[in-house]
Amino acid sequence: MRITTNMMTNNYLTSLNGSLEKQSTLQQQIADGKAIHKPSDDPIKTIRSLRFNSNLAINEQYTQNVNDSLSWMNTTDSAMSDLSSIMIRMKELTVGADGTKPIDSLNTIASEIDGLIEQAISIGNTKIGDRYVFSGQMDKTEPLKRTTVTDPVTGKVQDVVVYNGDINKISMQIKQGGINPSNDSINLTGVDVFGPLKTIAGSTSPVLDVFNQLIALKEELAKPNPDLTYVSNTGLANIDSIHAKQLQQQTQIGTRMSTYEMAKSMLENNKTTITTDLAANEDLNIPAALIDFKTAENVYQSALAVGAKILPQSLVDFLR
């Protein structure tokens, strides 16, 4: 085969360009410490990186869900603790409402119980951000409202607390698989804490029976001649029953919080593992890359020196 000057020149320039391209690739890798910049650099490692990044994104979303869930449950647990303190104080007042007290003192106890009822309603309307904790899935709606309703038949006016939320649970996915709201719920509804719901004449919304019982106790103590037998028996028994139910609901939230704390710890460990695997797959071996870059640079300089000798002389050479 006849070798022409143009063939020698083209082959030389192709090799020279390849050497320069290798330097450029190594320089880019050294600059950011990553061995992969496009799929063609290493198809197998590229597939692994895509898988690791996908798993990392999913893990981060689960972690965010766990943090949001714990924030919601911590707020709920704090509210339930406050409610427990209110019920304890109501019990103390009810126990103290005996026959040794004058009517004025019993009426004063009624006023304090009424104030505690207002505090309980305020706690029932606890918010986290702009969402109501005890509204179920209707978390943009204020759940509890104290009002009076009039029976259209008897004309009797009744002091009640209506419920405007729903009974649906809120769940957040923290692992692969389906969500079971009954097992994975992070909230308590107003019905869980203050229910059951009752329908009464004259009210367009259902009322909460816990407040019916507490208001009935308050109204009895506010009378000119209170029935202290009702107060010490029915009233006190109602408070004990309400408190026991609320403590049970708080215990369920506390148990679930422990489960989510464990899930958070596992997700944080998963993040560390995935990040380590991703780094091992993508990160550049800097010492080896520096040696390769220096070698490529020397090859390039040698090629320039050789090219100066093998390329034919040009008009410029003759003009010197």
Q: Are residues 114 and 207 in the same domain?
A: yes
Gap between the Cα atoms of 66 and 137, Å rounded: 18
Q: In a 10 Å sphere around its CB, with 0-12 CB exposed, 13-18 middle and 19+ buried, how is residue 135 labelled?
A: buried
| Rg, the chain, Cα only | 38
Q: Are residues 105 and 184 in the same domain?
A: yes
Q: Which two tokens stand for residue 57?
A: 């994104």
For residue 154, what pLDDT is reported?
86
Q: Are residues 189 and 254 in the same domain?
A: yes
Q: Which residue has the higher pLDDT, 272 or 175?
A: 272
What would the pLDDT profile of 104-139 be if each residue is shown by its tens digit?
999 999 999 999 999 999 999 999 999 999 999 999
Considering the chain, what percentage of its residues have pLDDT values greater than 70? 77
The 3-state secondary structure of the chain reads CCCCHHHHHHHHHHHHHHHHHHHHHHHHHHHHCECCCCHHHCHHHHHHHHHHHHHHHHHHHHHHHHHHHHHHHHHHHHHHHHHHHHHHHHHHHHHHCCCCCCHHHHHHHHHHHHHHHHHHHHHHCCEECCEECCCCCCCCCCCEEEEEEECCCCCCEEEEEEECCCCCCCECCCCCCCCCHHHHECCCCHHHHHCCEECCCCCCCCEEHHHHHHHHHHHHHCCCCCCHHHHHHHHHHHHHHHHHHHHHHHHHHHHHHHHHHHHHHHHHHHHHHHHHHHHHHHECCHHHHHHHHHHHHHHHHHHHHHHHHHCCCCHHHHHC
Q: Are residues 160 and 236 in the same domain?
A: yes
pLDDT at 308 over 80: no
For residue 190, what pLDDT is reported?
96
Its pTM stands at 0.80
Asked if the structure places residue 47 within a domain, the reply is no
Q: Are residues 112 and 2 in the same domain?
A: no
Q: How many domains does the chain have?
A: 2
pLDDT at 41 over 80: no
- Residue range 85-103: mean pLDDT, rounded: 94
For residue 109, what pLDDT is reported?
96
Asked if the structure places residue 39 within a domain, the reply is no
For residue 42, what pLDDT is reported?
75
Asked if the structure places residue 215 within a domain, the reply is yes
pLDDT at 89 over 60: yes
For residue 33, what pLDDT is reported?
67
CA distances from 49 to 14, 52, 62, 84 (A): 33, 5, 20, 52
Residue whose C-alpha is closest to residue 259's, from 182, 174, 168: 174
Whether 163 contacts 144, CB under 8 Å = yes
What would the pLDDT profile of 202-226 be if each residue is shown by its tens digit?
888 899 999 999 999 999 999 999 9
Q: Are residues 97 and 220 in the same domain?
A: yes
Q: Are residues 168 and 315 in the same domain?
A: no
Asked if the structure places residue 45 within a domain, the reply is no
CATH of the domain at 93: 1.20.1330.10
pLDDT at 58 over 80: yes
Q: Which two tokens stand for residue 295?
A: 């070698």
Q: Are residues 76 and 207 in the same domain?
A: yes
Asked if the structure places residue 271 within a domain, the reply is yes
Asked if the structure places residue 3 within a domain, the reply is yes
Domain encompassing residue 320: 1-32+287-320
- Residue range 287-310: mean pLDDT, rounded: 65
Gap between the Cα atoms of 250 and 79, Å rounded: 9
Q: Are residues 135 and 244 in the same domain?
A: yes
pLDDT at 1 over 60: no
Whether 45 contacts 29, CB under 8 Å = no
What would the pLDDT profile of 163-186 be if each residue is shown by its tens digit?
999 999 998 888 887 777 767 789
